[in-house]
Structure 1
């Protein structure tokens, strides 16, 4: 797996700037005491609760928020934020994205990457054929998959799904040059 267990899966090809990552979203009120349902992009999903200080983005505005209570509820998550104590107050925050400054993310081991670090990197085969750029990643259960979209420099206009298998398919990730080298047949 290319990422740390608190994997912010990027929608963080960041329309919000390079200094934040989208960790999840507040979806709707839960109950009458100000709780909200939380959709998490982290893995595991409750990893989003490891960060008590959130920045919410709603209607183009950023709002600081502090997590006071949080728990799993069924297959999902619910949380209460400081100062949000009614269904109406929770409804006012429904739809907000949960942002986190990238500097608050834990340091990773050598060879591990957050998804947001891989998005936008150019993907090149071992023999130098340019396949395009990573637009996003997907979880499949077995392994993560790079979604590669063609660009002006790619060999064709084909979108490709390439398994993220370090040392097998993915041979090198070079963040400094913005390139991923893959052992992959472009015909796939």
Structure 2
């Protein structure tokens, strides 16, 4: 299981005083108000940063990091993910899962036959859609609804699905 979970991605700088514009990848962008520390994934290292201030603008979060006070100091953070330790993550409700824990899960049908591997989760307006790399059907899109997703076992890394008519071509 991933110990650090992504909550946003820096899209660009904001102004000249060291603020960055963040696209939230969490269900609750308001959670940034409660965050004090965060990790910035530069690709080479996970840089611990302290959050000094948070504002909201449209669908973005404007974040100011302590000790980084100029545009030049934060310019290099573009496209870098922002991560929080699992213990600082928002608690999950019943039938909710962290996407990071689901990627790579083995998917099987209700009759126990291997179907494929979960390779991505698309977040849409109505419900998420699971992108499954199927053994015999290629890429299959399965809506994350109770009628299709019968069981998710994060500990075992397994998901059981019901394939409704039309989801796969026979």
Normalized against structure 2, the TM-score is what?
A: 0.86
Give, in angstroms, the shift of residue 106 of structure 1. Answer: 3.4
SS in 2 for 1:32: coil
Give, in angstroms, the shift of residue 157 of structure 1. Answer: 4.6
**Residue of structure 2 equivalent to 1:143:** 127
Give, in angstroms, the shift of residue 74 of structure 1. Answer: 2.8
CA distance in 2, matches of 1:59, 1:158: 30
Residue among 156, 162, 165 paired with 1:183: 162
**Residue of structure 1 equivalent to 2:141:** 161
**Residue of structure 2 equivalent to 1:99:** 83
1:60 to 1:139, Cα distance in 2 relative to 1, 3 A:
same
Paired residues of 2:5 and 2:89 also in contact (CA < 8 A)? no
**Residue of structure 2 equivalent to 1:14:** none
**Residue of structure 2 equivalent to 1:170:** 149
Paired residues of 2:40 and 2:82 also in contact (CA < 8 A)? yes
**Residue of structure 2 equivalent to 1:26:** 10
Paired residues of 1:40 and 1:46 also in contact (CA < 8 A)? no
1:109 to 1:95, Cα distance in 2 relative to 1, 3 A:
closer
1:149 to 1:49, Cα distance in 2 relative to 1, 3 A:
farther
Could you give the per-residue CA deviations for residues 118-169 of structure 1, whole angstroms, max 9, x where no partner exists? 221111111223221111111221111111013xxx3x15111001112x21
**Residue of structure 2 equivalent to 1:3:** none
1:128 to 1:98, Cα distance in 2 relative to 1, 3 A:
same
Give, in angstroms, the shift of residue 48 of structure 1. Answer: 4.0
Q: How many residues align?
A: 167
Give, in angstroms, the shift of residue 49 of structure 1. Answer: 4.1
CA distance in 2, matches of 1:96, 1:187: 36
CA distance in 1, matches of 2:59, 2:12: 15
Normalized against structure 1, the TM-score is what?
A: 0.79
Between Structure 1 and Structure 2, which shows a larger proportion of strand residues? 2
